[in-house]
Amino acid sequence: MADTDKRLNAREREHHYYLVDAMRRFEWDMHSRIWIESRIPPDWHEIADRRDSAKVQLTVRFDADVVKWFKSMGPGYQPRMNDVLRAFMHAKLSGLLHGDATIEPFRENATGRMPMPDWGDTARESAERNARLGE
């Protein structure tokens, strides 16, 4: 874990751990797919192409904290939300993500297996490290 733990308050640390867990899970999904297929998925090369699609009006409900955060970035928050959803869609379409969780094994190296990271791993690892260091 980075030295940033010392500078974060409890709430910021909680957000930091959630982000790290999400990124570790995404990285696990991405690398397990590349390892299993021994290649970059062909759709990966098209991800950067922006496909401007017709907009559809839709009533949808988001968590209040998510909407508040996107709105805090100022005008254009709805297109930004769409961009995040589009990135997730491309990750799924490219074969990097499957279902709610990828079930194929991800191999850390040729001799061992690395299980998919779980939510809360980062906080647990940080607490264990702090306990070992006597913090």
49 and 27 within one domain = no
- What pLDDT was estimated at residue 108? 43
113 and 131 within one domain = yes
Quote the distance between the C-alpha of residue 124 and its chain's center. 18
49 and 36 within one domain = no
Main-chain dihedrals φ then ψ at residue 41, nearest 5 degrees: -55, 140
Residue 29 CA to residue 36 CA, distance in Å, equals: 11
Please give the tally of structural domains in the chain. 2
Main-chain dihedrals φ then ψ at residue 48, nearest 5 degrees: -70, -20
Domain region containing 67? 42-94
Structural domain contains residue 60: yes
Q: Which residue has the higher pLDDT, 109 or 124?
A: 124
- Evaluate if residue 49 carries a pLDDT over 80: no
Structural domain contains residue 99: no
In the structure, what pLDDT confidence band is assigned to residue 50 with cuts at 50, 70 and 90? low
Q: Which residue has the higher pLDDT, 34 or 71?
A: 71
Structural domain contains residue 66: yes
pLDDT digits (tens, 9 = 90+) for 11-48: 888 878 877 887 777 777 666 655 566 555 555 555 55
> With pLDDT > 90 as the criterion, what percentage of the chain qualifies?
8
Structural domain contains residue 100: no
Least confident of 31-35, 48-52, 57-61, 110-114: 110-114
Mean pLDDT of 69-85: 85
- What pLDDT was estimated at residue 54? 79
